[in-house]
Amino acid sequence: MEEEIRILDDICIGISQERVLEAAGCVKGTRTYGKALALLPELEAGLRGAAAPRAWIAFGRARWYCLLTLGGGVEPYLSACVKEGLLKGVAADSMAQEFLFAFDGAVTEILRQECADREMGISRRLEAPCQLPFEAQKEILEEIERHIATGIRLSENYVFTPPRTLGYILETCPDPVCFHAAHSCSGCGSQSCPRRKGQKK
């Protein structure tokens, strides 16, 4: 019998230093770049110690619901970094965002295997605010918490707490070759995002 819910909390997550530095606005060859680069080993160790990455996938007939979080320990760590200096705070924040994106990428590969095992595909990924209103995040959380409590909460504006939490809906299809579960920057209006620029290359 196929699982209705899957919990992922033991995934190897790699963090790209170049993406972190780019997101922090640190340009190669500048003094700031060198200073930020020197901070990264300490920041990565601190962030990995503070984070508790966990993902939930609820499998429905036509839709799969996904929820990912870095846990509640990340924001206090980032706040502590800000107090030690602006550059450290900006670099730490950029690393946390890259950590979440990398986690999402690792979950995407697990979804690919789920599709192969179930002989089905993913026709599209829906997430707020590009393809869904923020109110849809309530549906995502409720669908997953029909199976298990997550500890994730929603604000009155339908924003997930803790921060560094994201949710999305995957629409399934019978074609195992079709796989559109990865995050796409095409629908996002943030033209200055380093990750969006990276996808254009």
Residues 50-93 pLDDT 10s:
999 999 999 998 999 999 999 999 999 999 999 999 999 999 99
Q: Is 67 helix (H, G, I), strand (E, B) or coil?
A: strand
Q: Which of 170, 138, 144 has its CA nearest to residue 4?
A: 144
> In the prediction, which pLDDT does 50 show?
97
Q: Which residues pair with 122 in a beta bridge?
A: 172, 179
* Stronger pLDDT, 146 or 196, i.e. the higher one: 146
The C-alpha atoms of residue 177 and residue 143 are separated, in whole angstroms, by: 26
Residues 81-140 pLDDT 10s:
999 999 999 999 999 999 999 999 999 999 999 999 999 999 999 999 999 999 999 999
CATH class of 5-200: alpha beta
Q: Which of 104, 117, 91 has its CA nearest to residue 55?
A: 104
Percent of the chain past pLDDT 70, that is, above it, reads 91
- Per-domain residue ranges for the chain? 5-200
pTM confidence score = 0.89
Least confident among 3-17, 44-58, 143-157: 3-17
Q: Tell me whether the omega of the peptide bond preceding residue 194 falls within 30 degrees of 0, making it cis.
A: no
Q: Which two tokens stand for residue 168?
A: 């999305």
The residue type at 183: H
Q: Any idea which residue has 């110690």 for tokens?
A: 49
Q: Is 63 helix (H, G, I), strand (E, B) or coil?
A: strand
Q: How confident is the model at residue 185 (pLDDT cuts 50, 70, 90)?
A: low
* Stronger pLDDT, 186 or 1, i.e. the higher one: 186
Q: Are 141 and 152 in contact (CB under 8 A)?
A: yes
> In the prediction, which pLDDT does 200 show?
44
